[in-house]
Amino acid sequence: MTPRLRRPSTLLFLVSLLLTACAPARSGSPSATTLPSVSVAPRVPAHSIYPLTLSDDAGRQVTISSAPTRIVSLAPSNTEIACALDACDDLVGVTDFDDYPAEVADVTDVVIGAVVDVEKVVAADPQLILAAGNELTPTTVIDQLTDLGYPVLALYPHDLEGVYNDISLVGGAIDARGAAEELVTSLQARAEAVATAVAGADQPRTFYEVGVFEGSIYTAGKDSFLASLLSLAGGEPIVGDAASTAIQLEDLISADPELILLGDASYDPTITVESIAARSGWADMSAVRDGHIVVVLEDLVITRPGPRIVDGLEALARSIHPERFP
Amino acid sequence: MRATASAPATTRPIFIGPSLTRVTVVLGGGAILLLSAMVVAVAIGSVGVGLGDTVAILGHRLFGLPMGITVAPGAESIIFDVRLPRVLTAMLVGGGLAVAGTVFQALLRNPMADPYIIGTAAGASLGAIAGLMAPILLPALAIGVGSTWLGLGLVQVLAFGGGLATVLLVYAVSRANGRVPVVTLLLTGYAVSSVLAAGVALLMFFSGQHLGAIFGWLMGSLAAAKWINLAFAAPLLVISATLLVFRWRGLNLLLLGDGPAAHLGMDVEREKIVLTMLATLATSTVVAISGTIGFVGLVVPHVLRLAIGPDHRLLLPASVLYGAILLALADLGARLAGGIPVGIVTALIGAPFFIWLLRRSRMVRVVVTA
């Protein structure tokens, strides 16, 4: 009981806060040699197409002053688009979730645990930032980066067509229109082949399980990308709420799926055909009765709107109509 | 216990006022700590920029000094456009919340009072979330969403207005026969907040992809801090905090209770409404630019009361200073921990310290009378 010590204890608190704050500070390389100005000084344009103004998926007008050779990607799908256009070497910042192609593992992570580290983006000195729409990259972050003077393209494809558009958009932005056109043409041809293969087949009522958490069942949302992909693959998607993508069990039972695709089995080995059949309330569904439950291990490419989305489409079509893919 | 509360060595009877030495130590020391905290918080971040470079950049951009040394231009942007506005915002928010908390605790004579207690948080949250979801709720409004004034979008404006409007409503409802009894005010605030919180929950339920943004706003964050927001918030906060600091006499009197304060010649109802509105103005401003950051406004006043006594002449300016220091450092911790919400840091580090302080003091000098 020493009132005299009260003030020092306050100071102690503040000092301890200071120490706590200082402790994890990495005195990492200031990367001083690689930090040019933010107000992107217009260089001598390498091509006559710059400065170039593009309209992104959020309807924002984005002006790019010169051919970008330093690109930051804030989503794995954007990384895959850039790399498919042969701009992998130009990536100077990606997310910690990026896993494809393998060489991006060496690129600095500027998004860690879904949080964009704005400082690291600035330090990477990008000439183009590829963000994700629909709040995957928070609007506040897009605004902040735009205010700092960077051209930020927000990509948010709603369907396969949207992915093609985004590939063309990025191709335009980085002066790789030819490569983009070529890529889109080949993807379209493959998607066309899938359409031909499943044409005329019965379309089973298909439930794609994205995940089950605490009793809530998540699937393709109404009018979602995933729902459109299931249709293209020759299924009739059973959809959940457009916003939450959840479906209530009784709605699922009354929709009576003829085919259940287990996308979540890609990540969780305990999700098996047997575990689904054992769930209470699921036994009466046609798919469970007839044993039409399929483990899908390609969820990553099915749900990542990059160039490999057509791999996902092919995987879905094979799962829904194995008879058409001998 | 009472004897301890007015221990002669450090605590004088409150109407005599703090000694000059005491003022110098608390406020002068606080000012030095504040400046140090600012430099430290600006110098440290996820990208390393040397202390020398930081000081040179600050000197150059703030005071027009010649740089002297060559620093990487990206470093200049990181220090001046990313970190400095964020640190200054943290300081304004921390100072504003702490002084508003001090005022509400004394005004309501309630140890659990914080700046949000009579409805600011609930009203501001509902406003902000309605703003976030405007494109879904009313597609016609979506056109206005992108436009901003002083960097304030629909979200900030609705948060600011929602906080102010809720407190005005609560105050008006609590008023009877020209008086606003403290208990009625607290309970009305609670009831109105509950209704608004139900609205918040309802909107969140239907929010879809906006849920993450809403959650982040409710947790409070300084990540979106920018200079232009300070142009809105700084004048409002400086004015309201300054006016509050100079109303120490009224707060000291109110600690005696409404009756005794009135007997001593104070227009109690007028003083209460002025204090409530100033503190609410400060809180709503803060909430508009940072969301609802918890803990600071509740605990900083208590810590300071334990440390320097309950005289508002010293307590009010000290809460501004130390609230600012605390939040700047807590936000630094939040940034270094990978951008987690700052409220997590204040509670994780601050609450155990507060418990320790409470235990060693063996008494809660909440809103102690002399």
Is A30 an 8 Å CB contact of chain B? yes
Residue B298 phi, psi (nearest 5): -85, -45
Low-confidence ranges of chain A (pLDDT < 50): 1-47
Is the C-alpha dihedral spanning B82, B88, B94, B97 positive or negative? negative
Cβ contact B77–A26 (<8 Å): no
Contacts B82 to A, Cβ<8 Å: 118-119, 122, 148
Cβ contact A138–B216 (<8 Å): yes
B253 vs B265: CA distance, rounded Å: 10
Cβ contact A138–B213 (<8 Å): yes
The HSE-up count of residue A252 (CA atoms within 13 Å, CB side) is: 29
Per-residue pLDDT, B184: 92
CB B115 within 8 A of CB B297: yes
Closest by Cβ to B47, choosing from A22, A123, A147: A123
Contacts B308 to A, Cβ<8 Å: 6-7, 10
Question: H/E element holding A207?
Answer: strand A205-209
Is A55 an 8 Å CB contact of chain B? no
Provide the 8-state DSSP code for B94.
H
Contacts A118 to B, Cβ<8 Å: 82, 223
Mutate to test the interface with A, among B35, B40, B71, B77 (most CBs of A within 10 A): B77
Which phi-psi region, left, alpha or beta, contains residue B220 (left: φ > 0; alpha: ψ -120 to 50)?
A: left
Contacts B33 to A, Cβ<8 Å: 14
CB B127 within 8 A of CB B166: no
From B118's Cα to the closest Cα of chain A, the distance in A is: 29
Per-residue pLDDT, B217: 84
Per-residue pLDDT, A32: 36
Q: Can you name the residues that pair with A132 across neighbouring β-strands?
A: A155
Per-residue pLDDT, B150: 59
Contacts A144 to B, Cβ<8 Å: 223-224, 226
Instruction: Summarize pLDDT for B212-270 with one digit per residue, the tens.
Output: 888 888 888 888 888 888 888 999 999 999 999 999 999 999 988 888 889 988 899 99
Tokens for B331, please give them.
């936000």
A102 vs B245: CA distance, rounded Å: 59
Closest by Cβ to B349, choosing from A6, A20, A134: A20
CB A90 within 8 A of CB A70: yes
Interstrand relation of A216-218 and A236-237 (parallel, antiparallel or unpaired): unpaired
Interstrand relation of A91-95 and A109-112 (parallel, antiparallel or unpaired): parallel
Cβ contact A28–B81 (<8 Å): no
SS (H, E, C) B257-283: CHHHHHHCCCCHHHHHHHHHHHHHHHH
Nearest-CA residue of chain A relative to B11? A3
Is the pLDDT at B286 greater than 60, yes or no?
yes
Nearest-CA residue of chain B relative to A241? B208
Contacts B39 to A, Cβ<8 Å: none
Closest by Cβ to B82, choosing from A36, A118, A143: A118
Tokens for B13, please give them.
């009877």
Residue with structure tokens 């700052």? B342
A259 vs A219: CA distance, rounded Å: 13
Closest by Cβ to A9, choosing from B206, B207, B357: B357
The HSE-up count of residue B160 (CA atoms within 13 Å, CB side) is: 17
CB B47 within 8 A of CB A108: no
Percentages (nearest 5) of helix, strand, coil residues in chain B: 75, 0, 25
Contacts B26 to A, Cβ<8 Å: 7
Instruction: Summarize pLDDT for B294-343 with one digit per residue, the tens.
Output: 889 998 999 999 888 889 999 999 999 999 999 999 999 999 988 888 88
Percent of chain B with pLDDT over 70: 88
Nearest-CA residue of chain B relative to A35? B74
Instruction: Summarize pLDDT for B45-77 with one digit per residue, the tens.
Output: 888 888 888 888 888 888 888 877 777 768 888
Cβ contact A17–B213 (<8 Å): no
Per-residue pLDDT, A258: 96
**Contact pairs from chain A to chain B, CB under 8 Å:** 162
Is the pLDDT at B40 greater than 60, yes or no?
yes
Contacts A243 to B, Cβ<8 Å: 136, 206-209
From B48's Cα to the closest Cα of chain A, the distance in A is: 5
The predicted model scores a pTM of: 0.79
Average pLDDT of chain B? 85
Residue A126 phi, psi (nearest 5): -75, 150
Cβ contact A35–B10 (<8 Å): no
For A263, residues 6+ apart whose C-beta sits below 8 A from its C-beta are A208, A209, A210, A211, A296, A299, A302, A303
Cβ contact B46–A119 (<8 Å): yes
Cβ contact A120–B47 (<8 Å): yes
Cβ contact A30–B75 (<8 Å): yes
Tokens for A183, please give them.
């890529």
A111 vs A98: CA distance, rounded Å: 10
Instruction: Summarize pLDDT for B151-188 with one digit per residue, the tens.
Output: 567 888 899 999 999 999 999 999 988 888 888 999 99
Per-residue pLDDT, B147: 56
Q: What 3-state DSSP class applies to A110?
A: strand
Cβ contact A24–B72 (<8 Å): no
Contacts B83 to A, Cβ<8 Å: 119
Tokens for B316, please give them.
């009010």
Contacts A146 to B, Cβ<8 Å: none
Closest by Cβ to A10, choosing from B82, B213, B307: B307
Is A140 an 8 Å CB contact of chain B? yes
CA nearest neighbour of A228 among A195, A200, A254 = A195
Which of A80-89, B138-147, B328-337, B348-357 shows the lowest per-residue confidence on average (mean pLDDT)? B138-147
Nearest-CA residue of chain B relative to A32? B72
Per-residue pLDDT, A45: 46
The verdict on ipTM greater than 0.90 is no
Mutate to test the interface with A, among B11, B44, B46 (most CBs of A within 10 A): B46
CA nearest neighbour of B299 among B351, B359, B367 = B351
Amino acid at A132: A
Is A97 an 8 Å CB contact of chain B? no
Contacts B44 to A, Cβ<8 Å: 21-22, 25
Local confidence band at B284 (pLDDT 50, 70, 90 cut-offs): very high
Per-residue pLDDT, A132: 95
Per-residue pLDDT, B356: 83
Per-residue pLDDT, B148: 57
